Structure formats: structure tokens, C-alpha cells
Amino acid sequence: MSADDRGPRRLPLSHRRAFVQRHTRLRDVEGVPGVRLHLADAVEPVWHAMEETLGVDGAPIPFWAFAWAGGLALARWLEEHPGEVDGRRVLDVATGSGLVAIVAAKAGATEVAAVDIDPFAEAAVALNTRANRVRVSYATRDVLDEPPPAVDVILAADTWYEGPLAERILPWLRTAAAAGTRVLVGDPGRKYLPDPVDAGLIELARYPVRATTTLEDRPIVEGRIFAVS
Ligand SMILES: C[S@@+](CC[C@H](N)C(=O)[O-])C[C@H]1O[C@@H](n2cnc3c(N)ncnc32)[C@H](O)[C@@H]1O
């Protein structure tokens, strides 16, 4: 039985929130001045605690407990280029901790929505938006099953780490871009990042970012920012 069948959706938000608080510490995010997130020190203890709490084997990786390299790079791009989101309606897809959504809100986006498929992300986003005094609406939903929403900007950070997601997200982002939405992605060279030229990804910047988890194989990775065409 999978974690989704048995677990996270059945746990009330207050329990998920308490879990996030118990297994993380509110701290500064290196390279993203002015933003604080509830982050864990190591993946394994949180992961095991989730499996215990949910009573399942094979809970999803607690992505929400870390600021991933793609998100750190995209956050930096937005801090340096607030005009990308200032005065605009923004969706952060696969938000995890909410880092990119929070930076968009701080940069002046009029409305910021965040989505993720992991119900624990809802708790992390709630705590992290409160810590940063910004407003972000959140939904636990697989928006890739739906047409892209009518927003001005879609942000997607660190989504090319697994094949099935990689296969679905590029066409979805390209559909949004074709409809006139500005689509920005951050990626640190994940395994399933497509060839940028073939995929219509226009490179805007590269940033060295310090990995925040031992799941990365290098301490410093190069985060690339692309606009989707
Ligand atoms: C590597 S994390 C990146 C999180 C965040 N964007 C960052 O850069 O820190 C990938 C996130 O994608 C989410 N995810 C996976 N499939 C998804 C889908 N179909 N729709 C929305 N989110 C998804 C995962 O739950 C996870 O939070």
C-alpha cells in the first residue's frame, strides 16, 4: 500500500504542521537574503519519521524540508530581476518548501499560488509563508493533469529529477508558454533535464549554489535558469 493511499491526506493539517515543526528548524537560506525557511538537517531521519507516522513503507522523499538547488537558483534570479513577477499573477508549480513562491511574493507579485502533490508541502508552505510574512495560496493538486491556468508567470524549480514527471512537465510548460505565459525554470543539471535547444529552453543565467542536502553528490552545483519558449 502506498503512502498516498493510507497516509498524508488523512492526517489533519494541524498534525502535518506539527510534524514539520518537530523535524525542521527555522533558519536563513544561504544565497537568498531575507528569506527564512523551516529546513531539516538531514533527509533520512525525517523520511523515517514520516514512514512511522503514516504507517507505510516508501513514503515520498520529504522534498518540502529542503531548499533544492533549482529553487535556490530561481529564487536568486527573481531577487535580481523582480520585474519578472512584480505586479503579476504567479503560479509556483512543485513548490516543495514554498521557497520560490515566497520570493515571488516578496518581489511584488500581486497573487501567488503554489501547488504540489505532497500534502506535507501544504504544512511547510503554511509555516514558511507565515515566517516570511507573505501571502501565498496553496493547493495539493497535480495541475499537470489540467490545462495550464490563466496566470502571467509560471515558475517551476527542480522538476527534472525523475523520468515520469520530466515527461509530463515540459509539454505542460510549453503549452503555457505558447498561450503567452512567461515560464521560468531553475535546474541544476538533473538527470532528466532535456537538451535545452531541442526542448525550447532559453538559458538566462547560471549561478553556483550550495547544496542543502546530502542527496546532492556535490557541495556546490550550478543552477541554470531557463525561459520556456
Ligand atoms: C526537488 S523538489 C523541488 C521543490 C522546490 N521547487 C525547490 O526547488 O526547492 C520537487 C517537488 O516536486 C513535487 N512534485 C512532483 N510531482 C509533482 C506534480 N505532478 N505536480 C506538482 N508537484 C509535483 C514534489 O512533491 C516536490 O515537492
Tens of pLDDT along the chain (229 residues)? 344 444 566 799 999 999 999 999 999 999 999 999 999 999 999 999 999 998 899 899 999 999 999 999 999 999 999 999 999 999 999 999 999 999 999 999 999 999 999 999 999 999 999 999 999 999 999 999 999 999 999 999 999 999 999 999 999 999 999 999 999 999 999 999 999 999 999 999 999 999 877 778 788 999 999 999 9
For residues 84 and 137, give the distance between their C-alpha atoms in angstroms, rounded to a whole number.
19
Give the pLDDT of residue 2: 43
For a mutational test of ligand 1's pocket, the pick from 4, 144, 159, 191, i.e. the residue with the most ligand atoms closer than 8 A to its C-beta, is 159
Atom of ligand 1 nearest to the CA of 100: 6
Are the beta carbons of 30 and 66 closer than 8 angstroms? no
Burial class from Cβ neighbours inside 10 Å (0-12, 13-18, 19+) for residue 71 reads: buried
**For residue 213, what pLDDT is reported?**
75
Q: Which residue has the cell 491526506?
A: 9
The answer to whether the CB of 84 is under 6 A from ligand 1 is no
| Ligand 1 close to Cβ of residue 119 (< 6 A) | no
Is the whole model's pTM more than 0.85, yes or no?
yes
Confidence (pLDDT) at 89: 98
Ligand 1 atom 3: the closest Cα is on which residue? 158
pLDDT at residue number 21: 98
Q: What is the DSSP string of 197-221?
A: HHHTEEEEEEEEEE--STTSSSSEE
Determine the pLDDT at residue 34: 96
Residue owning the nearest CA to atom 27 of ligand 1: 96
Res 8: pLDDT: 64
Report whether 63 contacts 10 (CB < 8 A).
Answer: no
Report the DSSP beta bridge partners of residue 183: 154
